[in-house]
Amino acid sequence: MIKIATFLCVFARTALAHGYVSGIVTNGVYTEGWQVGFWYDIVNGVTIPQTPGWYEEELDLGFIPPDEYQNPNIICHKNAVNANVSATVAAGGTVEFQWTTWPHNIGPVLTYVANCGGNCKSVDKTTLKFVKIDESGINFTTQTWASAVLIANNNSWTTTVPKSLAPGHYVFRHEIIACHGATTLDGAQNYPFCLNIDVTGSGTENPTGTLAVDLYHETDPGIYFDPYVTMTSYDIPGPTLWTG
């Protein structure tokens, strides 16, 4: 069993070089997130550290395809399970999401928050309503996609938490939608990752969110389109951006 697990692990890390969010920096403090390798530790009976990153089973570092947008796996990736601890950020502060690596330079980058309405370690993930607080598509002048900016920025992305967001226990959902195959129906690839982050401050706004299974549909104009032309417009997928 150990040999099989080791083999799979090596395969996952070398054959398919997609990344995942392995850690965050909130207001200058680094916090480790869920590591894909933890799955093998669990299988081998090794105790894993508790981190704010949600458990998920994307062992081949793969994606959620558009024909699974209405499946709960779109919430926080494949078979995701709540993290038991939370990081902390002040409203108005920043969260830097660190990807292990990222190979695809076509596609938007998005960040959502969902108020757990209580403890994020026990909330039913299918009830979480996500508010989009950060989105980036393509710079029409340079034709540079957000995912290329992420790569150039050491495979990281920094989101500012709106200052007026009410304090509370939140799930942050950070996502790259790789669109290099978007010319084909169901050719886009979603890579969502979730972390529990408590928001502090004196904000008073509780914006209404959207269930993750209602965020996207396979024929959305920003999901099913030809990216291999000079882009003069782009509909960033998902609900309206809320910046407070």
Ligand X SMILES: *[C@@H]1O[C@H](CO)[C@@H](O)[C@H](O)[C@H]1NC(C)=O
Stretch that binds ligand X, among 103-111, 135-143, 168-176, 199-207 (CB under 6 A): 135-143
Q: How far apart are CA 175 and CA 75, in angstroms?
A: 10
CA-nearest of 162, 5, 27 to 87 is 27
Applying CB under 6 A, among 154, 202, 240, 243 the residue interacting with ligand X is: 154
Applying CB under 6 A, among 47, 122, 142, 204 the residue interacting with ligand X is: 142
User: CB within 8 A of 189, min separation 6: which ones?
Assistant: 62, 63, 64, 65, 104, 177, 178, 179, 181
Q: How far apart are CA 209 and CA 140, in angstroms?
A: 29
The residue written with tokens 């695809």 in the block is 104
Residue with Cβ nearer ligand X (96 or 186) = 96
Q: Considering CB under 6 A, how many residues would be counted as binding ligand X? A: 11
Residue with Cβ nearer ligand X (101 or 219) = 101
Residue with Cβ nearer ligand X (61 or 81) = 81
| Residues 180-219, mask of contacts with ligand X (x by CB under 6 A) | ----------------------------------------
Interface with ligand X includes 141 (CB under 6 A)?
yes
Q: How far apart are CA 170 and CA 231, in angstroms?
A: 35
Applying CB under 6 A, among 139, 184, 202, 240 the residue interacting with ligand X is: 139
Interface with ligand X includes 232 (CB under 6 A)?
no
CA distances from 128 to 51, 63, 171, 198, 214 (A): 20, 20, 8, 15, 11
Q: How far is the CB of 37 from ligand X (least distance, A)?
A: 13
Residue with Cβ nearer ligand X (142 or 208) = 142
CA distances from 238 to 97, 128, 219, 220, 227 (A): 20, 15, 12, 9, 18
Interface with ligand X includes 98 (CB under 6 A)?
yes
How many other C-beta atoms are found inside a 10 Å radius of the C-beta of residue 242?
A: 18
The residue written with tokens 């209405």 in the block is 70
Of residues 31 through 90, those in contact with ligand X by CB under 6 A are 50, 54-55, 81, 83-84
Residue with Cβ nearer ligand X (143 or 219) = 143
Binding site for ligand X (CB under 6 A): 50, 54-55, 81, 83-84, 98, 139, 141-142, 154
